[in-house]
Amino acid sequence: MSYNGYDEVLEIGPGTGVLTKHVIRKGIKVTALELDSESVVYLKHSFRLEHPKVVNEDNFAVIEADFLKKDLNEIYGNKPFAIVGNFPYNISTQIVFKAIENRDQVIEFGGMFQKEVAERVCAQHGSKTYGILSVLSQAYYHAQYLFTVGREVFNPPPKVQSGVLILTRKDDYDRLPCSYSTLRRVVKLAFQQRRKTLRNTLKSLQLPDEIREQEIFSLRPEQISVQQFIELATKIEQLSNIK
């Protein structure tokens, strides 16, 4: 069964397979990427035995590996897939960035994050939580914050709340007029000093005066929409060839 152009899912950090079995029931093959060796042993053996009507060799595979270090082409080649997971909070931002870097294959990306990270991914310009993660995610994906998960549903309860989001790749994700590397560089420079205007934060790019005098350079980064950042990065790329 195919969902939105993919029929395989990469699950990051499945643990004991609480989420895994529900995804498999939808007729999607799950490849579980797990770093904890004890969880890997459980998933390969006990998990299969406990869910014989759901899990089989055709719809479930386990790989002991670190997602941030794993070459995803080794798993999927050029095939499209989605990513799900209850993501480790300490590396969740890095996970999002890697998903964006693999946007040609990652059609959907969803799961549970620390609430503040989920809010940053989905934040709109003008918000205090709007930043690098917001712009780079939303340049290529539609971002939707789904719901908040309270501390009380966990045992033991964590110190932070959680949030669930979904990113769905845009139809025109591959037609941006600027490269990802240029957009990332411009956005990161802009938000390094978010209280300052672009005229100050983008000084290191040594742009021509006629560009730096444009109105957008008098704005702070949180005031600039995703589309404006794309247009700015395109103009800078054309002028200075900084791909």
- The C-alpha atoms of residue 125 and residue 184 are separated, in whole angstroms, by 16
Using alpha carbons, select from 129, 119, 116 the residue that is nearest to residue 90: 116
Confirm whether residue 13 is marked as ligand binding: yes
Amino acid, res. 183 = L
* Phi/psi at 17 (5° precision): 85, 20
Q: What is the 3-state secondary structure (H, E, C) of 71-139?
A: CCHHHHCCCCEEEEEECCHHHHHHHHHHHHHCCCCEEEEEEEEEHHHHHHHHCCCCCCCCCHHHHHHHH
Cβ count near 31 (within 10 Å): 18
Q: 196: which 2 tokens?
A: 């300052």
77's torsion region: left (phi>0), alpha (psi -120 to 50) or beta?
A: left
**Distance in angstroms (rounded) separating the CA atoms of residues 99 and 106:** 7
Q: Binding site membership: which residues?
A: 1, 13, 34, 66, 86
Q: Binding site membership for S-adenosyl-L-methionine: which residues?
A: 1, 13, 34, 66, 86
